[in-house]
Chain A
């Protein structure tokens, strides 16, 4: 039990360090939203003074307190669940994230489930047929696609399947004609619109799962208990699923948990390509506008996703391998 307390303390410390670094890093970036707005007014012919006056009137607040005070306010706000307000959108950041996170989670979860499921099935299959033409072809394909950046894959899929063949929508999370709500047209539309973002992630990631599963299965296949099970005359299906599959998949489960966290950061590109209103969109927007509070809020979510998924991975692994808990 002590182990878990230690882990939780480390978890909070990690989050605190990460958000502290994020907090100060974003404020070291050149430019700020006020300057950008002032420049826009000046381009309209306003003098600098007139532009400053006009911008001061429309910006909800200008963070002009000392940075250490801003930091303390921010940390206290995090404990209260208040991440502040976006400077450019004048909306509570919590409200923005509450809207964006479900869309990101939706894409991330479906993408992971599909790529993981298909990856392990194919991985196991080619592990049994090592050296076959299919094994070589799939391994090559996995290596090639695995090296493909999300962004390039997304654009190519959008151009080919969306624009050229007109098979899938390429813009937004659902069709503008449907009524938003719990109804079949809306649900179907959401799935159709998620198709390309999910496919983008699938294409670039299933190969990784497949190759990992192949290697894991290959190592399990050489174990004595498999040979023993075969010698006992157990049905092949039972050996494949219970003896080989279950053991081979264990290390991949922990990687799966970690992947969830990393995908929150990686999904930024996919969301931008397909105009998907997830957290990546707000992160990009906040970076462009130098909207510090929003930037910090987005980083907080991605940081927490990574740290928590690592924590879950550790928990999972400790359940699978008690030596982790005892430090043995």
Chain B
């Protein structure tokens, strides 16, 4: 019997315990602190996840809160804002880059930030991983604690970007043990590109290194890391002053449904991604949500293989361009609205005006829209003498069917590829689809690099990237698309050599002026638009949501220069808002009057919200028969007709009026005086009478 009772009690306990009110342990955040909450994804707490910036498994979500880059980059005007570095100069020959560091910057453990830390960063992980900048860098020297010089192997303006913005700086106190050994080997004449085996033990030791603490110079310090959340607290000694928001929390969320339920209930303050249309509609209906849709200027690009007849005929490729409904494909791949390319020039037109003037765009580029026109596509094919076969597929005069294989990977989704095939089928071109895994597809001996395809899907992005990809990398370096070298243009007396053009562009800005670069860009734009060796389809839409009810200072939704800059380096770009004290929490001020009929205030009773740090002045105006007795600010008395409140935390202020009392003391004084006078007169009269 006792056992049964015990069993029942255990079962009851199992049900009841979770229901117990545990106010102290609930998910709710502390009232007094301002907290910015974001998703930490599926991070792994230590010992699985760790604090080694250079090794796999690093807790990357912490990166831009705790660590910092030397500067902040403003993409729209291509400038850097001073941060850990206060000054920098690139020599006119692009061979020497000098950097001056800020004095007085502290690491989270109290140590001083110096040039040794920058050296430790560049000669530990970046060097041992043979990251890209070291292909161009010769060495780095320390002038003194606050001055460094980066020497290049060859002229370039590429490395400064990596020095100033790409890499976060890690402390010498942790990574100096590796950089010192690397420098020792370099001092002995070894080089990681020539003698990688010499550096292998150091690289292995670095990969196995697990720092006990995560130390940075950034605005937030790591306070606690659990299986549920990472809690970061503001760094009081941050070089630009303590940040405005007390805590940042990264919640570990592994389910998309739960993540979205938290976003929609206002528990998450930031989102960056591509939601479903239904979720986006729900989010738009929330009063706390500020939503911006940005375009990532990259997307799928159709490559034609020039070795495959009749894809080497310009009109055939143009027929493809007219037959493809880019808008439909964009919406199939991204149901919230992919962004179809305006012009078929092989790159994202977002930054076109950086290189081409309006006159050129209006005269030439506007001709390359290739708007969806299946009729025109068929006319082009028929103009070549192609005739439709019994199955509706065109056949060339020499009997070749317009039937091709499209090889693609995840850059084009399978439904979008099927839609593409259907669109082309309508104009008599048959596509057979071959969907491949990205690894095999992009391998250097894979079909894309080696040109084992009729039609394939590559990637377009900025003009510089895109032209180098399809006119150089997959043509000169790898056989890829087999495009020809020479292309005729209306302005040049002889055909343009695209290889030479690309090689020339590679020398910008060292040996090539901006005008020469833009001229080359214009030529390549025209060649691509006219000959259609590739077709840029659409760009990726990204939705950014921020909580505008809890925080203020967000760049306006119309400020697309800022928001679009988050299309790459989103975490770096977001950090700028917090480091530079741009985003601030709202602070609530409750204004009360006692009694209500006692008087009025310059700020009517009620609840107001202000950006943190705002100074609010309130003046009391008593009504007739009343006077202001005092103010009560958060329980403390303050005197004076006006009160100034600094909104560094939530406040409650109450104006206390009192009725004006008759001057009893005066009356009493007068009475006493009169009594004294009367008594004095009486005594005087009495004395006189006697």
Contacts and interface: CB of A to CB of B under 8 A. Distances in A.
B465 interface: yes
B48 A96 contact: yes
A58 B254 contact: no
Interface in B486-538: none
B22 interface: yes
B136 to A, nearest CB: 12
A50 B444 CA distance: 12
Q: Which of B22, B135, B249 has the most CB of A within 10 A?
A: B22
Contacts of A175: 25-27, 228
Interface string A100-127: 0000000000100110011000000000
A250 interface: no
Interface stretch (A1-9, A10-18, A36-44): A36-44
A174 B227 contact: yes
Nearest to B437: A30
A49 B442 CA distance: 11
B229 A172 contact: yes
Interface in B329-359: none
Interface stretch (B51-59, B422-430, B611-619, B677-685): B51-59
Contact of B20 (A59, A188, A271, A272): A188
A128 interface: no
Contacts, number: 174
Given A36-B438, A90-B207, A173 B444 contact: no
A244 B142 CA distance: 86
Contacts of A89: 44, 48-49, 56-57
A277 B14 contact: no
A274 B258 contact: yes
Interface in A35-57: 35-36, 38-39, 42, 45-50, 52-54, 57
A285 interface: yes
* Chain A residues touching B, range: 35 or more
A285 B11 contact: no
Interface stretch (B126-134, B181-189, B375-383, B400-408): B126-134
Interface stretch (A177-185, A205-213, A259-267, A312-320): A177-185
A274 B255 contact: yes
Given A176-B231, A285-B42, A39 B26 contact: no
A284 B254 contact: yes
Contacts of A195: 18-19
A33 B349 CA distance: 33
Interface in A150-201: 155, 158-159, 162-163, 167-178, 180, 185, 188-189, 191-195
Given A192-B25, A195-B18, A57 B444 contact: no
A255 to B, nearest CB: 20
A32 interface: yes
Given A31-B439, A34-B439, A38-B442, A272 B132 contact: no
A155 B257 contact: yes
A215 interface: no
Contacts of A162: 261
Contacts of A168: 18
B25 A171 contact: no
B432 interface: no
Contact of B128 (A47, A57, A188, A192): A57
Interface string B232-256: 0000000000000000010111110
Contacts of A191: 14, 17-18
Contacts of B129: 54, 57-58
B224 interface: yes
Interface string B1-34: 0000001000100110111101011110000000
A274 B436 CA distance: 33
A174 B18 contact: no
Nearest to A60: B207
A95 interface: yes
B78 to A, nearest CB: 17
A119 to B, nearest CB: 12
A46 B132 contact: yes
A273 interface: yes
A91 interface: yes
B47 interface: yes
A310 interface: no
Contacts of B262: 163, 170-171
A303 interface: no
B652 interface: no
Contacts of A91: 47-48, 57
A138 B226 CA distance: 41
Contacts of A172: 226-229, 251-252
Contacts of B20: 188, 192
A281 interface: yes
B258 A158 contact: yes
B258 A188 contact: no
B473 interface: yes
20 contacts: A30-B436, A31-B437, A31-B440, A36-B438, A36-B439, A60-B207, A114-B14, A158-B257, A158-B258, A159-B257, A172-B252, A174-B228, A177-B25, A180-B226, A188-B17, A191-B17, A273-B257, A274-B258, A275-B42, A275-B252
Given A31-B437, A155-B255, A192-B22, 20 more contacts: A35-B437, A47-B473, A49-B444, A57-B130, A89-B49, A89-B56, A91-B57, A155-B257, A159-B257, A159-B261, A170-B258, A171-B27, A171-B251, A171-B258, A171-B262, A172-B226, A180-B226, A185-B25, A188-B25, A189-B25
Interface of A: 30-32, 34-36, 38-39, 42, 45-50, 52-54, 57-60, 88-91, 95-96, 99, 110, 113-114, 117-118, 155, 158-159, 162-163, 167-178, 180, 185, 188-189, 191-195, 271-275, 277, 281, 284-285
- Nearest 9 CB-CB pairings of A with B: A35-B439, A172-B228, A195-B18, A30-B437, A176-B229, A57-B129, A31-B437, A176-B226, A273-B255
